[in-house]
Structure 1
């Protein structure tokens, strides 16, 4: 624990006054495996960390990224929406992606259930495969929707990098999930 109000009264007061959705700007001070520290333009510095602002990797971008360095670099100017005051670490949790248009919603506007799409297999999981159907947009093909004849594992049907044709079976805007079927995309053989 960083210590409470008494040890860092100025920082505590600054963080307590922030409200959800408020815009904060600063400079990327350090990039860690778990996220990015941002030295804020306003407010005091941090007694321990390189910056008072902190952005977790998922809050950097709408797309799935491997590392924070795919999106930002040290010294870069950034703006984010304030999410919460982390009282344990005495930091302001920020979201950079909150200020960017969500590509999923734009994609959902352009398609409908039943639509055929071409995509590339990006990941195999025990219950199915993820297929990228547009830039930054992935959908799940459940194992039972992968093939006409059931297979025990996704790797029996496809590999990462394979091009596949799929049909959109469900669009969940709220959870930003796309359900796809490869089985329903192939013509019926009687």
Structure 2
């Protein structure tokens, strides 16, 4: 009795299941795509067609005009699985993740929850790079550690330099690692006391605090060590208020889930 032919879809699923995200695979460069992608014949796959694909932005840390400047046909390559598409049967790979072996090893052994210390290497309006103690030299960035703006502090700030400056020593908690971006995502805020935990004032209470920010639709007033509330401009009745001015306010509403406090002038 003849055995039924293997289900192609099931074979595809089995092949993709063998390529979980984060796994390191090896293969051979089989060609180049129209968008600058690199096609890879993964080891152990059906030789009739390349299964792996390295998008241009995941090929190398080096600056290049054409992918052929980085790899050539028939070249052996090592890459990390970035995702698998069951419909197309294609495995997306990142060669950049594995290109710097020392960086890759460092990222893989760094764990969420680790406490790390380093030196602020660069401050930008999109975040802060930190050169972490013990990290290998990064092939592209001024530091392997990266702090996104919301993770700098519990306080509301206008620019990250309100909190840190280049050369400053900082300590934070690791939120995760990204081998494709080559970074350790760090939170300084995680090691700071949450001002909402110490917020003693309640709804209906009258408190006095400094105006921390004047905006088109109202003013922010500090009502705790770092917790701030908003007085809407319609409640000010045209009253001129400046930053730093002490303002007596009534706490109208506290939303601890959304971390918002609504205030009204008490005078």
State TM-score, norm by structure 2: 0.57
Aligned partners of 2:97 and 2:182 also within 8 Å? no
Aligned partners of 1:105 and 1:173 also within 8 Å? no
Partner of residue 181 from structure 2, selected from 89, 97, 108: 89
Q: Distance in 1 between matches of 2:103 and 2:175?
A: 17
Aligned partners of 1:112 and 1:168 also within 8 Å? yes
Residue 139 of structure 1 is matched in structure 2 by 229
Deviations 1:139-166 (A, max 9, x none): 012345x15xxx5xxxx23333354321
Partner of residue 30 from structure 1, selected from 100, 122, 137: 122
Aligned partners of 2:209 and 2:248 also within 8 Å? yes
Residue 94 of structure 1 and its aligned partner are, at CA, apart by 0.6
Residue 98 of structure 2 is matched in structure 1 by 6
Residue 127 of structure 1 and its aligned partner are, at CA, apart by 4.0
Aligned partners of 2:195 and 2:224 also within 8 Å? no
**Consecutive aligned runs of 4 or more in structure 1 exceeding 4 Å deviation:** none
Give me the CA root mean square deviation.
Answer: 2.5
Structure with bigger gyration radius: 2
Q: Count matched residues.
A: 174
Residue 113 of structure 1 is matched in structure 2 by 203
After TM superposition, list the pairs within 5 Å mapping 1:171-186 onto structure 2.
Answer: 171-182=254-265, 185-186=266-267
Residue 160 of structure 1 is matched in structure 2 by 242
Bigger shift: residues 26-35 or 94-103: 26-35
Residue 88 of structure 1 and its aligned partner are, at CA, apart by 4.5
Structure 1: runs of 5 or more not aligned: none
Deviations 1:98-125 (A, max 9, x none): 101112321x2x2111110123333344
Instruction: Tell me: higher relative CO, structure 1 or 2? Use CA pairs within 8 A at least 6 residues apart.
Output: 1
Structure 2: runs of 5 or more not aligned: 1-56, 62-94
